[in-house]
Structure 1
Amino acid sequence: MSELTLAATPNAVAWARRHTVDILQRWRFPTEGIEVARLVISELATNAIQHAEPTGKSVPTAAGSTGVGTIALRLWPTDDGIILAVSDPDPRPPAPRAHDASASGGRGLVLIQAMANRWGYSPTQPHPGKIVWAEIPARPNSALGEPGFGERQAAPMLIGRVLTGLREL
């Protein structure tokens, strides 16, 4: 198992991606699974950062500086893949947004549903918050007709490549 706590700032997404790739390469996870995990952890971390401070504003500390929330990333291998989990202090459950083709965001959970074998959340104890997790297969199905993993006929590799390319623009 691997754990990493990050400040809930926009650059935490890049650190979460980097940590995930580094750990999965060290664990000799298949390359195609790493690419899917990279995209899924980006979505999980982005959502967690948005919910790290439920009011959406920074909280002043006693010293007068602005406090920053944290998120925690956890990875652990399963028999068939990897579980990626990110926790944040907001106890509200994740909820996919209604489809809006003109929206610039709000598709993260839809992507996670399409790319993961399964996903879910659980409340944290004893402090308020939640952990959102997704299980990624070691060898995801491909939109290119390559042999896949499991019975689903999804296109996570193609979706992942397109989204990764868009994010890198």
Structure 2
Amino acid sequence: MSQAPHLRNRIMLADTPNAVGLARLHTADVLSSWGVPSDIVETVQLLVSELATNAVRHPKECEERALLFPSRNEVQTFEISLETTGDAVRVSVWDRDTRPPVLKEVGVEATGGRGIFIVAIMSRNWGHYPARGMPGKVVWAEVGLIPASRVGEGERSSRSPGRPPAAGPGVPRAGRAAPNVLSRVLVGVRSL
């Protein structure tokens, strides 16, 4: 599936505890029906898990800080968009939080905070922009449909604006990611 036709699917989900699992199942169903290879489906599912988790968790944190007595019964929604863009699958997640995603380095023993780092490492491109005509932002990531072994050296060395730089203060590099951390995350995501 090197040059796929432009396909698009959108789903609106409530920010409930089962939303991330539903988003993963929906992603697998849609991408499989489009003929996307299973290894790419798994990668996109991981990205959807991380972005959906942020969409569920972070707007509530912002609202709770803003309100003296937050309503725990109020359910909000977020939207996931899946699309093929020539030689890639793009996932976009809209949520009501206006704060941009933060790429940060966390310790091996930390129980959270790796979401955007995982998105940056596992995607070929990622970024965010303010939502148009509604509150919040959209965070997106792309996964190539062409296996990395077939990508030319020139393409491999280029870096998009959404990718973390190769070095810099406070920015994690792919080479410093502990393999046991990523494997623990993958095991946890697969058990959803």
TM-score normalised by the shorter chain: which range applies? 0.7 to 0.9
- Could you say what the CA RMSD is over the residues aligned between the two structures, in angstroms? 2.7
Unaligned runs of 5+ in 2: 1-7, 158-173
Give the gaps of 5 or more residues in structure 1.
142-146
Whole-angstrom distance in 1 between the partners of 2:128 and 2:36: 24
Superposed, 1:1-169 pairs within 5 Å as: 1-53=8-60, 54-56=62-64, 60=71, 66-141=73-148, 147-149=149-151, 151-152=155-156, 163-167=185-189, 168=191
Work out whether residues 105 and 117 of structure 2, in 8 Å CA contact, stay in contact via their aligned partners in 1. no
SS at match of 1:121: strand
1:46 CA displacement: 0.4
From the superposition, tell whether residues 82 and 123 of structure 1 become closer, same or farther in structure 2 (CA, over 3 Å). Answer: same
The CA deviation string for residues 36-80 of structure 1, in whole angstroms up to 9 with x for no partner, is 0011110010011112332248954xxxx9221111000110111
The count of residues paired between Structure 1 and Structure 2 equals 158
Counterpart of 2:140 in 1: which secondary structure?
A: strand
Partner Cα distance (1:81, 1:160) in 2: 23
- Measured against aligned partners, the alpha-carbon deviations of 1:135-156 in whole angstroms (never above 9, x if no partner) come to 0112443xxxxx354644989x
Are the counterparts in 2 of residues 40 and 112 from structure 1 also a CA contact under 8 Å?
A: yes
What percentage of aligned pairs have identical amino acids?
37
Q: Give the structure-2-normalised TM-score.
A: 0.72
State the distance in 2 between where 1:127 and 1:112 align: 24
1:100 positional shift:
2.2
